[in-house]
Chain A
């Protein structure tokens, strides 16, 4: 068989396998793709994960197909050692490869940038669930619910500046309302990870790290610390609740009353808190 026939045969195998693999990814994997659809940011991430999976699968299948094809078809025959043809390159193929891979990458980067910045219908861009620092490049309009997440070794507490600066040990959010997290830390670097919400933002001492999300379902979500923060890092986990709007208003009203004595002694609400100098030996 000549060179051209080998190439055509391998390419046909690739196309067939790539179509099958993409069908599997599209119809069997994609409906279950993490992190799910609990919030708008989680949905955005799930959608992008699926797009990337559909783009990556044919590329990966292609490399494996041509590799395995070569390994099966071009073996050293028994007998004295034979040399292959002394081919040193192919200008058009090389240029084509450079062009195609660069084009795929540029398309992905341009689409990704658009996803990051664009905010249709007053929503934040797709990356808004990740901590954007004090000056987000993408933020939703309107009047979001502000929640300050204060990390310390080894737990998160939450402050609600729009509700008298009350600070709670547990987190509840109203369904359907955009939340603006302000994540900060008072000792070491932590990371606030609300998995089902598609939110992750590092809690850095002295920094105000903003992340957005809009919960779309009522239910529980996991909270974990995602940055190594010392001895009990593995145990820095909790559950949060997404409540119906009326239920959440009752929850926050109750929290304000129940925590009123403690709220009185809290420092005034600020973007960051500087505690006493760091104690060593934690």
Chain B
């Protein structure tokens, strides 16, 4: 296909000037946020105090939500994200897609996909550790069956924040850092399709995280991450923060998905046929389909709940004609694709890494792709398995049981591809490879336990118990997070130009793998023995298992600190420069120098072969880069 690339002139590497304090950056964004929030709060109180509803109770949802809305606008204005649309509105030139150098670019709305990838890495890393600290607090509470460590309200706040951080804020833990950094490099493009939208979709995330965290000051939200509305309608203003930040993340997901889809569809270099597309790019493509079609449901549901809370509508209130089932359906129609938004990138990373360290082509490339496509399609047809005992029309049960069990077929493809790639291979046990291999063990346990939950009679007991909790931690923590660590050990030498310490990496891996399993395996038993989720109390005979789990969880937290130490040590102190291709990998991104040039490729790119042709001496090099193009006038 022909490349729509413009010559390099449209992306000057270092635009002149504008590096001082008086430029658009995150500090002005925060100033804008505070100013906008204050204005919104003031308007809201002026308006809202005239409503009986607001006058009768001692807080004002309208004011808080207006504060968030105007704060968001102020934040985006301070970051300079609104400059382009405003300029175009008045018919003025929009300026260049500028790519800066220097540390200051990380605090700005950069349009360089590599900068955005690194921004995502740090931003999501922060949320991941906040969520992790919450997990430690939950396990502290559960050390004793009845004696509380926290008050019930604090405990629910911690539980809600842990879930929301890990599932919403961290949902792009692979698509954010690695997808944005490497998809353009892997398909031979100089940029993402919509760089300004890319910047916007990243900067919405810290804002959403900030709003979500700030709900602590308002007493948190009591509903957990699922936000079921009868309780949510009853909750304090912390609930408004939950709704607003989830909506922001939803918008970010939709923008991200459109950007990624258009990039992969239209910005592939000549020769990058669908059959040569790296499997990681396929996983980003399928994830984007889910991120495009799922979050609109969440946005709709969040908007209805906001109206219920502020304007007296009754979408979710049974006595006046609404139904709590409406939220349950809308939320899980988003929520189930969401868990595959978390799982598919993991499939992509491990299958991308296996051939490199097995020194073999990816076995069954088409099977892997069809597995991902199958998961994508089926994931929209299974949502009511979250509602088997909810009292929704029970004649739908057999259908959702069938679709839920069917989804294990395309997931099974990934396992076949993985194991067959390892068969007769020449395996190197590097840290990324260890994490990728552990992914298969963990995801296997997660997948097999899912079969119990898909079968209605078994699910009657297991639904809402710790069994469910152990199941999705095996798929998300054991799957997604292990794949993320595989990715970071694999790609950080390219992203940051330095190597992570291998000894610390191996310590991190073995402690993470052992303590992860020692934390979550007993929880299957705890759930089967009747312990519900999200409770601060439990039956005394379950104390031994719970204490075991808590101690394992603390050690797992320690293992994450080993990683943090390694990350900081390698990046800040040691700074061992990484070679351009430390793993001897064939794929496109490793053929570029480190650090990657600002415009990625100096000349026109032509892809000559697939990325996994290991062991085939007749395979040509993966790409050739032509001579640099002289910029044409007026472009």
Residues of A whose CB lies within 8 Å of any CB of B are 3, 6, 34-35, 41-42, 44-45, 48-49, 52, 56, 59-60, 63-64, 66-67, 70-71, 74-77, 81-90, 93-94, 97-98, 101-102, 105, 108-109, 112-113, 115-117, 126-127, 129-138, 183, 185, 187-189, 191, 193, 195, 198-202, 204-211, 222, 224-235, 237, 272, 274-275, 277-282
Contact = CB atoms under 8 A, between A and B. Distances in A.
B414 to A, nearest CB: 11
Interface centre among B152, B363, B397, B529 (most CB of A within 10 A): B397
B455 A70 contact: no
Contacts of B155: 234
A105 B412 CA distance: 11
A87 B361 contact: yes
Contact of A101 (B365, B409, B422): B409
Contacts of B233: 278, 280
Nearest to B230: A188
A78 to B, nearest CB: 11
A225 B532 contact: yes
B629 to A, nearest CB: 35
Interface string B455-470: 1111111011100000
A70 B433 CA distance: 14
Contacts of B545: none
B455 A112 contact: yes
Contacts of B413: 97-98
A153 B359 CA distance: 60
B231 A230 contact: yes
A101 B374 CA distance: 14
Interface in B205-252: 222-224, 226, 228, 230-231, 233-234, 236
B153 interface: yes
A109 B405 contact: yes
B615 A84 contact: yes
Contacts of A199: 460
A83 B445 contact: no
B466 to A, nearest CB: 11
B457 A133 contact: no
Contacts, number: 316
Q: In the complex, which of the residues A84, A101, A225 has the most CB atoms of chain B within 10 Å of its own CB atom?
A: A84
A74 B362 CA distance: 16
Given A84-B360, A189-B230, A198-B460, 9 more contacts: A52-B451, A74-B426, A85-B615, A134-B391, A188-B231, A199-B460, A211-B389, A234-B155, A234-B535
Interface of B: 57, 152-153, 155-156, 222-224, 226, 228, 230-231, 233-234, 236, 317-320, 323-325, 358-367, 388-395, 397-398, 401-402, 405-406, 408-409, 412-413, 415-416, 418-420, 422-429, 437, 440-441, 444-445, 448, 451-452, 455-461, 463-465, 528-530, 532-537, 539, 584, 613-616
Contacts of A101: 408-409, 412
B266 to A, nearest CB: 28
Contacts of A84: 358-360, 424-426, 614-615
Contact of A89 (B363, B412, B455, B528): B363
Contacts of B615: 83-86
Contacts of A277: 317, 319-320
B427 A70 contact: yes
Nearest to B618: A86
A204 B391 contact: yes
B612 to A, nearest CB: 8
Contacts of B428: 76
A56 B401 CA distance: 17
B440 A63 contact: yes
11 contacts: A45-B458, A63-B440, A105-B405, A105-B409, A109-B398, A135-B393, A209-B389, A232-B152, A234-B536, A237-B537, A274-B319
Contact of A133 (B392, B424, B455): B392
A211 B389 CA distance: 9
Contacts of A81: 359, 426, 584
Contacts of B456: 112, 116, 126-127, 130
B230 A202 contact: no
A105 B410 CA distance: 11
Contacts of A86: 360-361, 613-616
B464 A201 contact: no
B420 to A, nearest CB: 7
Contacts of A226: 463-465, 532-533
Contacts of A231: 152-153, 156, 222
B460 A130 contact: yes
Contacts of B427: 70-71, 74-76
Given A35-B530, A75-B427, A76-B426, A227 B464 contact: yes
Contacts of B231: 188-189, 228-230
A102 B398 contact: no
A43 to B, nearest CB: 10
A204 B387 CA distance: 12
A114 to B, nearest CB: 9
A60 B448 contact: yes
Given A81-B359, A189-B230, A193-B464, A206 B318 contact: yes
A67 B440 CA distance: 9
Nearest to B61: A280
Contacts of B457: 41, 44-45, 48, 112, 115-116, 126-127, 129-130
A111 to B, nearest CB: 9
Contact of A117 (B156, B398, B532): B398
Contact of A127 (B152, B441, B460): B460
Contacts of A201: 389, 391
Contacts of B397: 116, 127, 137
B572 to A, nearest CB: 31
Nearest to B155: A234
Contact of A88 (B319, B361, B445, B455): B361
B394 A224 contact: no
Contacts of A44: 457
Given A199-B460, A228-B228, A90 B401 contact: no
A62 to B, nearest CB: 10
B588 to A, nearest CB: 19
A273 to B, nearest CB: 9
Contact of A233 (B364, B398, B534): B534
A89 B444 contact: no
Contacts of B416: 93-94, 97
A41 B460 contact: yes
Given A70-B425, A127-B457, A60 B236 contact: no
Contact of B323 (A185, A200, A206): A206
Residue of A85, A229, A275 with most partner-chain B CB within 10 A: A85
Contacts of A41: 457, 460
B365 A88 contact: yes
A134 B325 CA distance: 14
B413 to A, nearest CB: 8
B401 A280 contact: no
B426 A202 contact: no
A198 B461 CA distance: 6
B57 A281 contact: yes
Contact of B455 (A48, A63, A272): A48
Q: Which 7 A-B pairs have the closest CB atoms?
A: A206-B318, A209-B391, A83-B615, A234-B535, A132-B394, A84-B360, A130-B460
